[in-house]
Amino acid sequence: MNYTIPVRTLCEFAARRGDLDLRFTPVPSAQQGIEGHAIVRARRNAAYQKEVALSITVALPDGENALIVRGRADGYDPQQRQVEEIKTYRGRLESIPENHRALHWAQAKVYAHLLCQELKLDELRVALVYYHIDEGTETVFTEDCTAITLAAGFADLCEQFASWAIRETQHRANRDQALTTLAFPFPALRDGQRKLAETVYKATLHGRCLLAQAPTGIGKTLGTLFPMLKAVPHGELDKIYFLTAKTSGRRMALDSLRLLFPSCSRPSLRILELGAREKVCEHPDKACHGASCPLAQGFYDKLPPARLQAVEHGWLDRPALRDIALQHQICPYWLGHELAQWVDIIVGDYNYYFDVNALLRGLAVSRQWRVGLLVDEAHNLLERARKMYSAEIHTQALHAARKMAPPELNKPLAAVLRACNNTLQEQAGEYQAYQAIPSKLHGALLKASAALADYINLQPQEAADPPLLQLHFGLLHFLGLADSFGTHSVFDVTIAGRAHVAQPPAAAGVSTILTLRNLVPAPFLQPSLALSQSAVLFSATLAPWDFYRDTLGLPEDTAWIDVDTPFQSSQLDVRIARGISTRYRDRNQSILPIVRLMHDQYRNRPGNYLSYFSSFAYLDQVAACFSAQFPDIPIWTQSRGMQEADRELFLQRFVPSGTGIGFAVLGGVFAEGIDLPGERLIGAFISTLGLPQFNEINEQRKQRMAEVFGQHRGYDYAYLFPGLQKVVQAAGRVIRGDADSGVVHLIDDRYAQPRIKSLLPRWWQLD
């Protein structure tokens, strides 16, 4: 059996040495990198060859397998006998860490060896070309190498990788055999779960995208994981990515995998959980380089034994990963990143695949993996993606940074503030959307970002003032998104605290926010979804399916399944309060009728209830009135900025045989993702249609949706569909099992409209 490895992967495995060094440098976007390579090549002579495909087969020591090393050399000049490895960068060339340069040289010399073998050359000049994206300048380093020297270096890399390649080949065979015989962990699949599993299996084998709406209670996590795992050998998948919006989703995925592979100490598959950096980092007060963090010192020297122990262990949830990392005195977070390429299933947050510089997407591209994608609670992906592809700059942060900035930063930061004042001085209102980012402002931001990077890279992170660091990160994110600005986003400016129009918008006392706001994430998500062999997006609320297909960038031929609920309509009594309006103009008049309705329901059937509102202000008004009218009925309320401990206390009030009403905000932490089965929750009141607030920002979203998807869809896509999705999610908290029964009051006269009724779940028997 052959084991194929890209040149870059081979070099990263065998050629890296020394400390982990991730000092902050402005990184060009992928598109800028492509454009930079094209500019460099365009400057070369007519004989210059670009993207030279190369490969070589090397026998492995076991005599049964072979190693195929392949890749594309950036360029080759036959006239000068010079092979080039091109790297794009921003900031100062001196800021590129030495171990990164060593990796670049290793890649260049492997390509040189492959060229010598293919062209029968005795020697070759190896060139490392660094191209500055912003300045358009090249810095070239060259080394004349003999074919013998290049061959010896390549042989050394292969020798270091050989035993690992044999191990990986055997693991792949064992893995596929185990999945072929994998059995479902229960005697039978539940009603609806079988239909879901069969559809996921077929979609995976046929390389299709699938939107799967399946109700709570049928086991969606196991019903999607099991069939995709069974499809791995036949579909020749390399990895499965299970992506979630919340920690609870990761926990459910890992629990399902434990059921499928009960021998978790050394399962037949390697399973990795990726956590957020702020929750995994052992030294959050230190920077990711050897001069600052002890777990970065000698990281690549200590990595090989840690990597070997990890893959032999196989089950790599956060505790196991931390334990292995600390045994070898290396960083758990970055060990997880290193192991991502050597495991079979990765469980992590959406951002690990869909974010701007996502780890898992980058690996899938560079390694050319066939990936099966499972996206849990996919209704959350729309808003999460909008946040991923949006960025803000606060002028107050610019002023704060300028106060403590060294002299070399004062001028570029002042230039940004000046550009703000010059370009926004005509803005009369508090909010305004612009067709594009003003060019002078964009240029000033670029220069300030480069200056900040140069300053910060010359010192440890802890020595830099927090305002400077925060501004640095913010500028990098903003400018990265600015490079891909288009019809899917808007540049808008909010000016608050401006005493008079003559006052500059970026004055010290004025809070001005510059926002690159993503409205339609489809153009960003589409390449990531298309990259997967098969993508299954599943949730209890994915209707209307064409709304999610359009806004998430799924292909036109995306399959759709709506799994029937296992519950009976008699289990859930859904009532519409036709005589109450919760429209903003009617809020004050609605408070007392809502209070009386809640009281009557509670007196009729005492127990635990949740009552949802469109805002904290509305919640507080109704709660105050309810307490005044009926002080004997226990209530507890969600508060703004609630901490995790307080959330737990809120949920602990919902005990079997308990009584009382919890007040919460629709769309918040208590409206989805919580499980209160049986008598822990017997009913819900929903005093809103869930429609997003009417404001200039949402009106921009409505306008953009209409422009992209058609005028008739603007309101539905911006307001109606997202609102009702929250309603259905909240109502879904009531019935969690076959024995549950309860009531949901939909409190607004608009629920009686035929159009609204048609968008609610089919199994609800509406009065």
Q: Which amino acid is at 25?
A: T
Query: What angle, rounded to 10 degrees, do the helices at 147-180 and 7-14 form?
Result: 100
Q: Using pLDDT thresholds of 50, 70 and 90, give the confidence band for residue 673.
A: confident
Q: Which CATH number fits domain 394-519: 3.40.210, 3.30.200, 1.10.275, 3.30.450?
A: 1.10.275
Query: Cα–chain-centroid distance for residue 338?
Result: 18
Instruction: Give the pLDDT of residue 27.
Output: 66
Instruction: Give the pLDDT of residue 428.
Output: 81
Pairing of strands 660-665, 608-613: parallel
Q: pLDDT exceeding 70 applies to what percent of the chain?
A: 98
- DSSP bridge pairs for 6: 70
pLDDT tens, residue by residue, 160-192:
999 999 999 999 999 999 999 999 999 999 888
Average of per-residue pLDDT across 484-510: 85
Q: Is the pLDDT of residue 29 over 80?
A: no
pLDDT tens, residue by residue, 138-147:
999 999 999 9
Q: Is the pLDDT of residue 445 over 90?
A: yes
Q: Which amino acid is at 221?
A: T
pLDDT tens, residue by residue, 561-574:
999 888 889 999 99
Query: Cα–chain-centroid distance for residue 182?
Result: 30
Q: Which two tokens stand for residue 219?
A: 């086991």
Instruction: Give the pLDDT of residue 90.
Output: 78
* Contact predicate 90/133, CB 8 Å: yes
pLDDT tens, residue by residue, 84-133:
999 998 777 887 888 889 999 999 999 999 999 999 999 999 999 999 98
> Given this chain, do its domains 189-387+523-562 and 569-757 carry the same CATH topology?
yes
Helix (H) or strand (E) holding 447: helix 439-457
CATH architecture under which domain 189-387+523-562 falls? 3-Layer(aba) Sandwich (3.40)
Q: Using pLDDT thresholds of 50, 70 and 90, give the confidence band for residue 24.
A: low
Burial class (CB in 10 A: 0-12, 13-18, 19+), 440: middle
Give me the residue label for tokens 């032999």. 312
**Rounded-to-integer distance, Cα 388 and Cα 391, Å:** 8
Q: Is the pLDDT of residue 291 over 90?
A: no
Q: How far is CA 126 from CA 110, 120, 155, 333, in A?
A: 10, 16, 18, 35
Instruction: Give the pLDDT of residue 34.
Output: 87
**Mean of all residue pLDDT scores within the chain:** 92
Instruction: Give the pLDDT of residue 21.
Output: 82
Q: Is the pLDDT of residue 503 over 90?
A: no
Q: Is the pLDDT of residue 264 over 90?
A: no
Average of per-residue pLDDT across 679-685: 97
CATH architecture under which domain 2-165 falls? Alpha-Beta Complex (3.90)
Average of per-residue pLDDT across 692-708: 93
Q: What angle do CA 82, 85, 91 make, to 5 degrees?
A: 130
Q: Is the pLDDT of residue 462 over 60?
A: no
pLDDT tens, residue by residue, 214-232:
987 788 999 999 999 999 9
pLDDT tens, residue by residue, 471-483:
988 998 999 899 8
Instruction: Give the pLDDT of residue 285.
Output: 84
3 state DSSP class of 345: strand
Instruction: Give the pLDDT of residue 310.
Output: 96
Burial class (CB in 10 A: 0-12, 13-18, 19+), 266: exposed
Instruction: Give the pLDDT of residue 337.
Output: 96
Q: Using pLDDT thresholds of 50, 70 and 90, give the confidence band for residue 648.
A: very high
Average of per-residue pLDDT across 286-297: 88
**Rounded-to-integer distance, Cα 60 and Cα 62, Å:** 6
Task: Name residues whose C-beta falls within 8 Å of residue 510's C-beta, 6 or more positions apart in sequence.
Answer: 395, 495, 496, 497, 498, 503, 504
Instruction: Give the pLDDT of residue 265.
Output: 55
Instruction: Give the pLDDT of residue 266.
Output: 64
**Rounded-to-integer distance, Cα 724 and Cα 327, Å:** 50
Instruction: Give the pLDDT of residue 92.
Output: 79
Residue 430's φ and ψ, nearest 5 degrees, are -70, -35
Q: Is the pLDDT of residue 288 over 70?
A: yes
List, in sequence order, every beta strand (DSSP E) within 90-199. Answer: 123-132, 138-146
Q: Which two tokens stand for residue 241?
A: 């990515």
Pairing of strands 82-89, 66-77: antiparallel
DSSP string of 191-216? TTHHHHHHHHHHHHHTT-EEEEE--T
CATH architecture under which domain 569-757 falls? 3-Layer(aba) Sandwich (3.40)
**Rounded-to-integer distance, Cα 708 and Cα 718, Å:** 12
Residue 494's φ and ψ, nearest 5 degrees, are -115, 125
What's the DSSP call for residue 243? E
Peptide bond into 544 cis (omega under 30): yes
Q: Is the pLDDT of residue 284 over 80?
A: yes
Report which of residues 32 and 460 the model is more confident about.
32
Q: Using pLDDT thresholds of 50, 70 and 90, give the confidence band for residue 23.
A: low
Task: Name residues whose C-beta falls within 8 Å of residue 515's C-beta, 6 or more positions apart in sequence.
Answer: 390, 391, 392, 393, 491, 492, 493, 494
**Rounded-to-integer distance, Cα 225 and Cα 37, Å:** 40
What's the DSSP call for residue 463? G
Q: Is the pLDDT of residue 269 over 70?
A: yes
**Rounded-to-integer distance, Cα 465 and Cα 477, Å:** 19
DSSP string of 270-303? -EEEPPPHHHH-S-TTS-SBTTT-TTTTTHHHHH
Instruction: Give the pLDDT of residue 199.
Output: 97
Give me the residue label for tokens 């594309």. 72
Q: Is the pLDDT of residue 333 over 90?
A: yes
- 91 — alpha (psi -120 to 50), left (phi > 0) or beta? left
Average of per-residue pLDDT across 400-414: 90
Task: Name residues whose C-beta falls within 8 Å of residue 576's C-beta, 6 or more positions apart in sequence.
Answer: 746, 749, 751, 752, 766, 767
Q: Is the pLDDT of residue 460 over 70?
A: no
Q: Which amino acid is at 341?
A: Q
Instruction: Give the pLDDT of residue 26.
Output: 59
Instruction: Give the pLDDT of residue 356.
Output: 83
Instruction: Give the pLDDT of residue 464.
Output: 58
Domain boundaries, the chain: 2-165, 189-387+523-562, 394-519, 569-757
**Rounded-to-integer distance, Cα 119 and Cα 56, Å:** 13
